Amino acid sequence: MTHIYAFANQKGGVGKTTTAVSLGAYLADAGSRVLLIDSDPQANATSSLGIDPSSVQVSLYDALIRRQSLAEIAIATPSLGLDLAPSAPGLAGAEVEMVSMLAREYLLRRALEGIVDQYDHVLIDCPPSLGLLTINALTSAADGVIVPIQCEYLALEGLGRLWQTVTMVREHLNPQLFISGMVLTMFDSRTNLAEQVVTEVRAHFPEQTFRTVIPRSVRLSEAPSYGQTILTYAPQSAGAQAYRALAQELLTRETQLEARS
Ligand SMILES: Nc1ncnc2c1ncn2[C@@H]1O[C@H](COP(=O)(O)OP(=O)(O)OP(=O)(O)O)[C@@H](O)[C@H]1O
Ligand SMILES: [Mg+2]
């Protein structure tokens, strides 16, 4: 069974891409076949994996707008077991072009048909907005949305809008959609504020919040500039250990959910 998650939060710079890429690397390391879909015109996930977005021949744009299968678009990455459906600069135009297309909310879901069986996990990295690219990701996310939350002042601000969007998508487009996880990111143990954010998020979302908290780690911010995931760049670092633990926690949750159903 393939697990499909969208990584979304319309707030920028909260750790969506870092979480999708790092989790993808550790899920693959645990033996899972992983497809990472870079659904952000900024193409941060693509370049994080050492692939130059401007050199990409076929990208997610071709899947969404030209209706090519993701099978023709996915490429292997230097990170073992991790395939990528790359973004490219042209993806910025896709959101505009999608507006007038038939079944515009289902374009990604359709592109995934015929390829999902080849993977155990599909992780979709969303842009910092609630536009059609994010809606398409939410419509495709059979296992729900994972929301990275930065341990900062006003961490929960704007979550109401995300919540409304998730509810709207569940009611009209994907009845399976729910918030399956909240990941606390960039935790700085030296500040009281970070501690308060963790407590507040856990109080609001006791079920969803992952036990693993991702610390602020310079190594995590350096890895993308070397085109490497944290798994190869600095496997002993605190950030690496945290994402390894997060991957294990997700796998355990999936096993528990499967046992219950
Ligand atoms: N745990 C961490 N410790 C230190 N730096 C981090 C950590 N997580 C992410 N960063 C850095 O913070 C910045 C924002 O992270 P990231 O790109 O993952 O966020 P994002 O939510 O995907 O951003 P956007 O909304 O622009 O897509 C990046 O420079 C990244 O390297
Ligand atoms: Mg990003």
**DSSP string for 192-231:** HHHHHHHHHHHHH-TTTB-S--PBP-HHHHHGGGGT--HH
Q: Has residue 261 got a pLDDT over 90?
A: no
Index of the ligand 1 atom closest to the CA of residue 224: 31
For residues 80-102, give the mean pLDDT: 94
C-beta separation of 219 from 239 below 8 A: yes
Q: Has residue 114 got a pLDDT over 90?
A: no
d(CA 44, ligand 1 centre) in Å:
10
What's the rounded Cα separation, in Å, for the pair 243 and 249? 10
Question: What is the enclosing helix (H) or strand (E) of 123?
Answer: strand 121-125
Index of the ligand 1 atom closest to the CA of residue 223: 31
Residue 158: per-residue pLDDT: 86
For ligand 1, atom 10, name the residue with the nearest CA: 221
Ligand 1 binding pocket includes 16 (Cβ within 6 Å):
yes
Instruction: List the alpha helices (DSSP H) in 75-142.
Output: 91-98, 107-112, 132-140
d(CA 124, ligand 2 centre) in Å:
11
Question: Kind of pairing, strands 145-150 and 179-185?
Answer: parallel
Residue-wise pLDDT tens digits, 176-223: 999 999 999 999 999 999 999 999 999 999 999 999 999 999 999 999
For ligand 1, atom 29, name the residue with the nearest CA: 221
Whole-model pTM above 0.85? yes
Query: What are the angstrom distances between the C-alpha of 210 and each of 69, 149, 153, 184, 248?
Result: 33, 11, 20, 8, 11
Residue 254: per-residue pLDDT: 97
Give the angle subtended at the CA of 46 by the CAs of 245 and 27, to the nearest 5°: 25
Ligand 1 binding pocket includes 128 (Cβ within 6 Å):
yes
Best of 11, 18, 150 for a ligand 1 pocket test (most atoms within 8 Å of beta carbon): 18
For residues 35-64, give the mean pLDDT: 97
Three-state secondary structure call for residue 17: helix
Ligand 1 binding pocket includes 217 (Cβ within 6 Å):
yes
Index of the ligand 1 atom closest to the CA of residue 125: 22
d(CA 15, ligand 2 centre) in Å:
7
C-beta separation of 43 from 127 below 8 A: no
For residues 38-62, give the mean pLDDT: 97
